[in-house]
């Protein structure tokens, strides 16, 4: 939040109460450069105004010269406008002014000789990379961790001394999305069994027993090694007999 932008917003004579509320909401989201980029959903939640009123209000304030569309876009979809409040210089209080109760001889916070707080090369408080107040309400998809990562030897030794279980020793129920790997396919081919048929039997057995394993692929390897190939039923061969009188009989 920019205190200067908020003070300026309170002093501005707005055309309507909704414009005043919207301007205060933008000032509340502004950084030290009086720029902000809250999404429409964010403004709807802050002001309780509808989407059309917010859009019309922003466009009207741009025409009136109160705010400026920088042309930059933010957010995951790159559709959130970056707006800059045209704060007047006289409305921006000087942080290190003796009239405001700051003693200059004790050192100023943003003196170039002492190092300024919000200089880009030194890192800024409201840099988008570091996180600012103008977060969008749009959901962010988090990466899904598919498997455990094997800890390093030092961590494994520590876990053993503390009597704790390492990730590699954790046993899990049969996964619903389990699929045979290359080793399972190779063993099935060697044994002459159908891997998909054996997988159905293996899944039914594991779920009925409520079993938990460290590695279900290794357990499936053992299952396949003990599997028996399906026996092929012999086909019936007809017997043909010819009598002395020339009659033919087929059994």
- Cα gap 8→85, rounded to integer Å: 9
The CA distance from 146 to 167, in Å, is 13
Contact present, 5 and 30 (Cβ < 8 Å): yes
Q: Which helix (H) or strand (E) holds 78?
A: none
pLDDT on residue 79:
87
pLDDT digits (tens, 9 = 90+) for 102-160: 444 445 445 555 555 555 555 555 555 555 555 555 554 544 434 445 556 666 666 66
pLDDT at 13: 87
* Top mean-pLDDT range of 160-169, 191-200, 232-241: 191-200
What gap in Å lies between CA 184 and CA 41, rounded to an integer? Answer: 51
pLDDT of 25 above 80: yes
**29-33, 94-98, 112-116: segment of lowest average pLDDT:** 94-98
Q: For 8-15, what is the mean pLDDT?
A: 89
Question: Percentage of the chain with pLDDT > 90?
Answer: 33
Instruction: Give residue 172's pLDDT.
Output: 85
Return mean pLDDT, the chain. 75
Segment 11-34 mean pLDDT: 89
Q: Who wins on pLDDT, 69 or 111?
A: 69
CA distances from 121 to 35, 57, 72, 127, 131 (A): 19, 36, 21, 11, 17
Condensed to tens digits (0 to 9), the pLDDT of residues 209-237 reads 888 888 899 999 999 999 888 776 666 56
Please give the share of the chain, as a percent, with pLDDT higher than 70. 59
DSSP 8-state code for residue 250? E
Contact indicator for 162, 170 with CB cutoff of 8 Å? no
Angle at 99 between CA 94 and CA 100, to 5 degrees: 60
For residue 239, name the pLDDT band (cuts at 50, 70, 90).
low
pLDDT at 91: 46
The per-residue pLDDT for 148 is 44
Residue 191's Cα: distance from chain center in Å? 44
Single pTM value for the model = 0.38
């Amino acid at each position: 939040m920019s205190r200067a932008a908020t003070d300026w917003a309170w002093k501005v004579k707005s055309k309507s109460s909704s414009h005043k509320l919207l301007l205060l909401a933008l000032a509340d989201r502004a950084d030290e450069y009086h720029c902000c980029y809250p999404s429409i959903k964010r403004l709807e939640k802050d002001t309780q105004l509808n989407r059309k009123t917010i859009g019309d209000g922003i466009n009207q304030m741009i025409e009136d010269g109160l705010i400026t569309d920088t042309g930059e876009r933010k957010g995951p979809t790159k559709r959130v406008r970056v707006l800059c409040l045209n704060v007047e210089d006289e409305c921006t209080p000087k942080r290190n002014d003796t009239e405001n109760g700051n003693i200059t001889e004790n050192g100023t916070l943003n003196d170039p000789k002492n190092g300024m707080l919000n200089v880009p090369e030194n890192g800024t408080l409201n840099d988008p990379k570091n996180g600012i107040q103008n977060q969008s309400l749009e959901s962010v998809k988090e990466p899904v961790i598919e498997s455990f990562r094997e800890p390093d030897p030092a961590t494994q030794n520590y876990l053993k001394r503390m009597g704790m279980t390492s990730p590699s020793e954790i046993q899990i129920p049969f996964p619903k999305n389990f699929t045979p790997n290359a080793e399972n396919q190779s063993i099935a081919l060697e044994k002459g069994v159908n891997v998909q048929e054996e997988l159905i039997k293996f899944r039914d057995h594991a779920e009925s027993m409520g079993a938990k394993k460290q590695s279900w692929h290794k357990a499936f390897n053992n299952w396949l090694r003990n599997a028996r190939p399906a026996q092929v039923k012999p086909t019936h061969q007809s017997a043909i007999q010819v009598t002395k009188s020339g009659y033919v009989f087929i059994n």
